[in-house]
């Protein structure tokens, strides 16, 4: 569950490393889950890409949450408990037209994005769950 002020990792190759949640685009509730849009501020850049980075420190972007530490119920997964959780909270940066800033995505992504308007995330990701 992501709240205002939460620090998250960035999973694409845009050049950002850490971001902070500023606002949650949701009609009710103050917590965001996987698949929700949030407004983020960039707090740290990757050291190897500082000169060629597509983003700058302090800029504000929209972001889509793709992984959270909070466990979610996935009954179609064949395992003992039916719940899935990740070891980190991570996002993908989006521009003003809701297009991805990066061109590659590191780490697993849930298959539920296939049926949303963010299906491009499936095509640039490395593996699906």
The enclosing domain of 65 has a CATH number of 2.40.150.20
Domain count, the chain: 1
On whether residue 1 sits in a domain, the answer given is: no
On whether residue 66 sits in a domain, the answer given is: yes
pTM of the prediction?
0.86
On whether residue 21 sits in a domain, the answer given is: yes
Q: 30: domain range?
A: 7-128
pLDDT in tens, 55-94: 999 999 999 999 998 767 665 555 555 667 788 999 999 9
On whether residue 2 sits in a domain, the answer given is: no
**How would DSSP label each residue in the chain?**
-B-TT-EEEE-BSSSEEEEEEEEEE-SS-S-B-TT-EEEEEEEEE-GGGTTT-SS-TT-EEEEEEEE-SS-EE-TTS-SSS-EE--SS-EEEEE-TTS-BS-S-EEEEE-GGGGGSTTTHHHHHEEEE-
Can you name the residues that pair with 127 across neighbouring β-strands? Answer: 108
pLDDT band per the 50, 70, 90 thresholds, residue 115: confident
pLDDT in tens, 15-62: 999 999 999 998 677 899 888 999 999 999 988 766 778 899 999 999
């Amino acid at each position: 569950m992501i709240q205002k002020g939460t620090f998250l990792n960035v999973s694409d190759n845009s050049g950002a490393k850490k971001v902070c949640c500023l606002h949650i685009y949701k009609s009710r509730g103050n917590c965001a889950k996987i698949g929700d849009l949030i407004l983020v501020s960039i707090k740290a850049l990757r050291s190897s890409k500082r000169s060629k980075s597509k983003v700058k420190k302090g800029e504000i972007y929209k972001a889509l949450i793709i992984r959270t530490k909070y466990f979610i119920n996935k009954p179609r997964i064949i395992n003992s408990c039916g719940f899935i959780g990740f070891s980190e909270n991570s996002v993908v940066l989006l521009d003003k037209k809701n297009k991805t800033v990066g061109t590659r995505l590191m780490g697993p992504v849930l298959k539920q994005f296939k049926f949303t308007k963010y299906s491009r995330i499936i095509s640039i990701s490395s593996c699906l769950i």
